[in-house]
Amino acid sequence: MINSMWVHPSLILILGGLGLPFVARGPLRKMYLVAIPVAAFLFTYFMPHGTYATTNFMDWTLTFGRVDALSKVFAYIMTLMCIIGTIYGLHVDEDVQHIAAWFYVAGSLGVIFAGDYLVVFLFWELMAFASVFLVWFRRGPKSLATGYRYLLVHTFGGLLLLAGIILRYKATGGDLSFNLLTDVANGQQGFSFHNIFNVSLPSFLIMLGFILNAGVPPLHAWLPDAYGEASVPAAVFMCAFTTKTAIYALARSCAGMDILVPLGVVMSLYGVVYAVLENDSRRLLAYHIISQVGYMVAGCGIGTAMAINGAVAHAFAHILYKGLLFMGCGSVLHMTGESKFTELGGLYRKMPRTFVFTMIGGLSISAFPLFSGFVSKSMIISAGFEEHLYWVGFLLTLASAGTFLHTGLKVPYFIWFGKNSCCKETWEKAADPPWNMQLAMGIAAFFCIFIGCYIPYLYNMLPFQEEAHHYAQIVYSSYHVSETLQILLFTAVGFFLLLKKLVPEPTISIDLDWFYRMGGRGFYWLARKPIQSADTGVGEGYRYLGLFPLMTMARFWSWFDWNAIDGVVDGIARSVRGVGALARRLQSGWLQASLFYAASAVAIILIVYVLN
Amino acid sequence: MIIKLIDFLRNRLKTVVVLCFVGLGLLVVWDIIFVDKEHAHTHIEHWPFFWSLFGFGGCVLIILFSKWFGHCHWFGGKFTIMAPEDYYDK
């Protein structure tokens, strides 16, 4: 009975999206736009645990609805973010933008509720294809190329995943359930840092497919490329779903794979280093996604109950504060048309509320006490220390100093304070954004503070309740508060001392997308130079080896034609002409002569006839 | 209201800076004298000023390393990570 009543939230979003073009413009449309994500959220919220929507397709049993603690907390935050993102983009008139965004969220929810890898793959691809439209719909000069790069990278990732799924299907004799990847041969976890060569290929490929979407270097460069180029409301959606869905997939299938720990640590620092160099505010935030997702990847790699709790909690908090930051910087771009630090500055007089909202996001991502990051990020770091991975704990702490340095200090300082580099036009256009954008930022800001102040709200949703309750008792211990405040505040001292070093420069940072961007150029070069040379060479060769004999043959046939065939034809023609000339000579034009010839001819015919 | 508050603080920048440093001093003193370090994971965390120095040193290290990384001429000269904005358009 319950099974038949269960409605997939993705279905609500997809059908809602398809119905949108039929809704009349005006207040009704705005209500409809809010109602559909709210419905998806409510369906998720009241969903009891269990397995729903299993169907038989050919030889397989597909599960579309596996609802447990892990999938529910992710679905909860995804649908909540869908509401916030839709409100933020409420002013957008174009139906297709909303439809693409909802389809994208539907893809993410589909992966989260999937019970087997085939369904995962199906929705994984839906996510990639829906989100590329979010890049294209900005319709900027670079959008098309960026979108194609994004699509190509994700298609590559999808193919890795598919290859892994097929190989796993074969190796396990038909097991496609979306659960922890265990090695087929020895029943062990598929992949270990200490045992790196004993990898089962299917597990490795599936993991690669997932970590490409999580933005793990060297498979990360699509992220700043696309998120910096997406339209303003689209970037708010994109920053939430792709990477965090990948974290869900890693927590589900790759928990405890040791290799994820160093990868996560590298990610968290890599993002920080590039964020120092970045001049575009939204690209800077994109690099900080890489940094923050690094914590979650490391958490999945550590794999203990506390670490998985931490990864989930951090994903939850991250979606809200990163959405808020993208909304803040997006508002600046929306109002002024600028997102580069070198073209902004001193805007606090013009956009004070946007400043406050962005600052709340900055304090949350930096894990200030009473803000959301504080109760989530530290859980992963503590899990690292508890596993005696001290280098992990210290390096992740170092990365969190870097986080505050950029997102908490650099972004607000160089947009709202600092040297005013706005041109006259930018300055005149600058103002706090429309009400719907402010409302969306307000909701996200509320949650950032609420999560940080009222711990049970988030902790009661985590998959491992016992560990969550245990950690809830120590998260606001005086030691933890003192440690965090010291790190962050002394980072601020360093920032102001080295402020001159941090003045933004009008440059772009070359990242690993260089290889495929220049690789693409290499392909052009290959097409232009060697391939064209080869083409010319073949042409020349053909001329000598093919064309010359052909021409000789042609000349022969031409001669033959002229002298032999035409000889025959012309001969006939010449004969006819000769006969004609003779006949002409006979025709003098005189009537008597003509009568004479005619009578003579008749006489001859008669004589011949009579004689015969 | 927000603008007034910011302007109020900016007009008294020196006082604000002094107050911030006093706050930092109090934080360190509080940490050394009152904070129970039972939850520390390693021995090194028991040292006074440890996390303060970690935060400050980490910040300086990140800035200097990143700027070096961005401006360094790699592969013998022409190539830098921080490239002109029209790098890919050329």
Both B27 and B49 in one domain: the answer is no
Whether the bond between A434 and the residue before it is cis, its omega within 30 degrees of 0, is no
What's the mean per-residue pLDDT of chain A? 87
Q: Is residue A446 part of a domain?
A: yes
Both A122 and A84 in one domain: the answer is yes
Distance (Å, whole) CA A420 – CA A348:
10
Q: What confidence score (pLDDT) does residue A567 get? A: 67
Out of A172-176, A362-366, A480-484, A495-499, least confident range: A172-176
Rounded to 5 degrees, φ, ψ at A103 are: -60, -40
pLDDT in tens, A571-599: 677 777 776 766 665 555 555 556 566 66
What's the domain count of chain B?
A: 2
Give the DSSP H/E element, type plus range, for residue A53: strand A50-57
Q: What percent of chain A has pLDDT over 70?
A: 90
**Closest residue on chain A to B67 (Cα):** A277
Mean pLDDT of B51-55: 92
Both B30 and B49 in one domain: the answer is no
Dihedral angle at the C-alpha atoms of A249, A282, A294, A155, nearest 10 degrees? Answer: 40
Mean pLDDT of B10-24: 89
Both A174 and A206 in one domain: the answer is yes
For chain B positions 25-54, those within 8 Å of chain A (CB to CB) are 27-28, 30-31, 34-42, 45, 51-54
Mean pLDDT of A484-509: 89
Name the residue with higher pLDDT: A499 or A540.
A499
**Closest residue on chain A to B1 (Cα):** A352
The reported pTM is 0.84
Q: Is residue A519 part of a domain?
A: no
Both B12 and B50 in one domain: the answer is no
Both A398 and A477 in one domain: the answer is yes
Both A383 and A481 in one domain: the answer is yes
Both B15 and B59 in one domain: the answer is no
Is the predicted pLDDT of residue A541 greater than 80, yes or no?
no
Mean pLDDT of A74-79: 96
Both A124 and A161 in one domain: the answer is yes
Q: Is residue A524 part of a domain?
A: no
Residue appearing with tokens 């869900």: A248
Question: Band of the pLDDT at A468, cuts 50, 70, 90?
Answer: very high
pLDDT in tens, A252-305: 998 888 889 999 999 999 999 999 899 999 999 999 999 999 999 999 999 899
User: What ipTM did this prediction achieve?
Assistant: 0.90
- Would you call A31 an interface residue with chain B, using a CB distance cutoff of 8 Å? no
What's the domain count of chain A?
A: 3
Distance (Å, whole) CA A34 – CA A82:
9
Both A21 and A63 in one domain: the answer is yes
Q: Suggest the residue from B16, B32, B63, B74 to mutate for an interface test with chain A (most A CBs closer than 10 A).
A: B63
Both A163 and A34 in one domain: the answer is yes
Residues of B in contact with A505 (CB under 8 A): 82
A276: containing domain: 259-507
Is the predicted pLDDT of residue A3 greater than 60, yes or no?
no
Both A41 and A146 in one domain: the answer is yes
pLDDT in tens, A33-73: 999 999 999 999 999 999 988 888 877 888 899 999 999 99
Question: Band of the pLDDT at A2, cuts 50, 70, 90?
Answer: very low
Q: What confidence score (pLDDT) does residue A418 get? A: 83
Q: Is residue A221 part of a domain?
A: yes
Mean pLDDT of A141-158: 90
B46: containing domain: 42-90
- Would you call B55 an interface residue with chain A, using a CB distance cutoff of 8 Å? yes
Q: Is residue A520 part of a domain?
A: no
Both B46 and B77 in one domain: the answer is yes
Both B23 and B47 in one domain: the answer is no
Q: How far is CA A511 from CA A169, A219, A220, A524, in A?
A: 36, 11, 9, 21
CA distance B56 to chain A (A): 5
State the CB neighbour count (10 A cutoff) for residue A99.
Answer: 20
Who among B51, B62, B83 is closest to A486 (CB)?
B51
Both B22 and B2 in one domain: the answer is yes
Is the predicted pLDDT of residue A194 greater than 70, yes or no?
no
